[in-house]
Every structure is written in structure tokens, then in C-alpha cells.
Amino acid sequence: MTRLIIWRHGNTDWNAESRVQGQTDVPLNALGREQARAAAPVLAALRPDAVVASDLRRAADTAAALAALTGLPVRSDARLRERHFGQWQGLALTEVAERFPDEYARWRAGDPDPGAGIENLDDLGKRLGAAFRDAADLAAGGTVVVTTHGGGARQGVGHLLGWDHTVLRSVGSLANCHWTELRHDDVRGWHLRAHNVGLITQPALTDAV
């Protein structure tokens, strides 16, 4: 049985400001670095066989905290980047609501393709799902930790599990530095074992930020 741990990066200043990050390369802040250091020993105790991360700094630096304890190299995969948020990237959500009211309303309602240059959810799920499968193949029968982003994590998990958008909307977001655990075997395929696991209690921010 293969275990896949999908770990969201630590906090950033843009998370704290409810500013849309998307694929903008925003670093961890002091809280995010502390979150990564606190979570790393828990994940190291799972004895991972491989660590893979998005190439964006907030994910790569989160993964580096785990690598420092395990001695494992961090493999970089650009497919693990967050959803591209088009014209919204860099804007506060309050600005988005004012400048793109129609697209914002569609996004809030769960439209998979709300406009404004935002990446389609189906494309996002396929991109992340493929990256998750390739990461799991690095240690079939073992444990792999993948460090990625909130929105991408949810859609990638949904793609592996075969869940549609309406089901995914009922699943809570990953808080910063929390993780989802999936398992895979030849009989059941992919199945969910745990979600939003972590040490630090905090409200989960919207996937966009």
C-alpha cells in the first residue's frame, strides 16, 4: 500500500492579508517558517521515502524543513503550483470583488471556469492529479510527502478520488501547513484516510490566497 501525504505550505504575508497569490512566488513569513518547523517532526515520524514540492518558494521552503530532518532531497515539480488566478493575482479579495463582480460571484458559486484568465478547475485537477501519481510512483508501497498549495491540493485529490466539483465544494480547505493523507492499493485504488491534519489550530483561509 502506498501512502501519499499532501502538505499545504506554511503561512505567507499574502495569506494573512487575504491577497490572491495564485502562481506569484510569495515567500513564507515568520509564522509560516515556524509552522513548517513544528510540523516537520510529525511528518518525519511517518518515515517518508521521498519528498516532492512545488517550485514556488512557499512550498519549497516548507518541504525543506522536512528534508532537514530526514536527509531526503526535495524533488521539484512545477505541476504542483497553485491554480493560476489570471488577472486577480496580487489583488486583495476585496479588490477582486469590486473590480470583477461577475467573475467573483461565479467563483464564489463554484463555477469551474469563472473567467478573468483563471485556470479551469478541470485542468487544475488533471495537472495536480498527474503530479501526485508521479510522486507516488517514486516509492510504490512506501510513503511520499508532496508539498503544494491549498486550491491545487483539493482539486488534485478530487481528481485521484474521482470526485466532481459539487462533492469537492463540501470538503473543507486545508489550513496552512496541514495535510491530507491518501492511500493506494491494487484492490481499492485511491482512498482518503485523513484530511486537514496538523498541529496548529487556525481558520482555513480561502483557497485563492
Which residues are tagged catalytic? 9, 82
Q: Which of 69, 73, 63, 6 is nearest to 32 (CA)?
A: 63
Residue 140 backbone zone (phi > 0: left; psi -120 to 50: alpha; other: beta): beta
DSSP state of 101: H
How many other C-beta atoms are found inside a 10 Å radius of the C-beta of residue 170?
7
Task: Return the axis-axis angle of helices 30-44 and 57-70, rounded to nearest 10°.
Answer: 40
Amino acid at 148: T
Residue 189, SS3 per DSSP: strand
